[in-house]
Amino acid sequence: MLKQRIITAIVLAAVLLAAVFFLPLSLFAILAAVVFVVGAWEWSRLAHFSGAARAGFALAFALLIAACWWWVGFLRLGSEFVENRMTGISLLAVVWWLFATWLVKSYPAHARFWSRRWEQTLMGLLVLVPTWAAIVFLRAQPAGEWLILILVASVACADIGAFFVGRKWGKRKLAPSVSPGKSREGFAGGLASSVVFALVLAMVLGGGAHWWLLALIVPASLASVMGDLLESMLKRQRGIKDSGTILPGHGGILDRVDSITAAAPVFALAYLLSGYILSGQALGG
């Protein structure tokens, strides 16, 4: 199992790097859409869809992604119009994740308020669509390839820090009804790891403006925990261990991108509100 996980992880990393650095924006957006359509297929299972209804859910999601591409106006990148609409989508996502935090903390007491199919369908759309839009928007920015890598690395640092600190010192449960293995100490360790990552990156890049990396990385890292917990809550409510089986040793797509679903919109919103544009020259070398 460990060997299988390592091989899958290496393949995923290679695909990510190739897509981020070598695909033009339109193809990158299409590939990201395909990934999230598969995620929508998996979400349909969490939402108690079965048979042809699952394909219908995934198709509806694909059409919504296409509508989002048109509505945001990605073809007019660099305009204030696009930034305003992305700000709106990101704000909606952040409000949703604040509400999702309450859902997780109150589980299972208030599960009856979101356990019906239409409610879980809405949840899926609020999780997946803003994530796709945020990732495509970030990729389209100056040095967007590096912004994507910084986002992924931020989430990874928070996850690794939480794992090791929680394993060593974790005693107080963060959300015992949802994920008994997560602790408050681990959460603090993940936060500390992301702060260290931001500070090290700022020093490597140099220049006072790069300290804005803290404003990008830390909130996204904090939000990533909620992405993980929300999917854990839905799987626990559904009575399943993994969202799917498409990734050997790792489960489904949602099992790999759950943290990103919360982190990406927060990262994008912080980027938009700060007005911080990372130059390709600074990040590239």
Question: How many Å apart are CA 28 and CA 34, to the nearest integer?
Answer: 10
CB 244 within 8 A of CB 177: no
CB 276 within 8 A of CB 209: yes
175 SS3 class: strand
Question: How many Å apart are CA 16 and CA 18, to the nearest integer?
Answer: 6
pLDDT bucket at 142, cuts 50 / 70 / 90: confident
Tracing tokens 């917990």 back to the chain, one arrives at 229
Question: How many Å apart are CA 280 and CA 277, to the nearest integer?
Answer: 9
Poorest-pLDDT segment among 35-49, 84-98, 117-131, 270-284? 270-284
Q: Is the pLDDT of residue 209 over 60?
A: no
What is the residue type of 145?
E
DSSP H helical ranges for 51-206: 52-72, 80-106, 117-139, 144-169, 184-205
CB 57 within 8 A of CB 125: no
Q: What are phi and psi of 240, to 5 degrees?
A: -125, 160
Poorest-pLDDT segment among 19-33, 119-133, 208-222? 208-222
Poorest-pLDDT segment among 133-142, 179-188, 198-207, 211-220? 198-207
Question: How many Å apart are CA 1 and CA 8, to the nearest integer?
Answer: 11
pLDDT tens digits for 92-104?
999 999 999 999 9
Q: For residues 111-132, give the mean pLDDT.
A: 91
Q: For residues 209-232, give the mean pLDDT.
A: 88
Q: For residues 51-72, give the mean pLDDT.
A: 91
For the record, the structure tokens of 241 come out as 């261990």
Tracing tokens 């669509």 back to the chain, one arrives at 129
Q: What is the pLDDT of residue 84?
A: 86
Q: Which residues contact 89 (CB under 8 A, 6 or more apart)?
A: 68, 72, 129, 130, 133, 134, 265
pLDDT tens digits for 39-56?
999 999 999 898 899 999
Find the farthest-apart pair of alpha carbons in the chain and give their distance in angstroms, rounded. 55
Cα dihedral value 281, 152, 15, 36, nearest 10: -120
For the record, the structure tokens of 212 come out as 């804005």
Q: Is the pLDDT of residue 279 over 60?
A: no
pLDDT bucket at 224, cuts 50 / 70 / 90: very high
For the record, the structure tokens of 71 come out as 């509505």
Q: What is the pLDDT of residue 162?
A: 94
Q: For residues 189-214, give the mean pLDDT.
A: 83
Question: How many Å apart are CA 125 and CA 43, to the nearest integer?
Answer: 9
Q: What is the pLDDT of residue 166?
A: 92
Q: Is the pLDDT of residue 251 over 70?
A: yes
For the record, the structure tokens of 23 come out as 């695909």
Identify the bridge partners of residue 247 per DSSP, sorted by sequence position: 251
pLDDT bucket at 75, cuts 50 / 70 / 90: low
Portion of the chain with pLDDT greater than 90, in percent: 60
Q: What is the pLDDT of residue 285?
A: 44
pLDDT bucket at 169, cuts 50 / 70 / 90: very high
pLDDT bucket at 210, cuts 50 / 70 / 90: low
Q: What is the pLDDT of residue 66?
A: 92
190 SS3 class: helix
Neighbours of 147 (CB within 10 A): 24
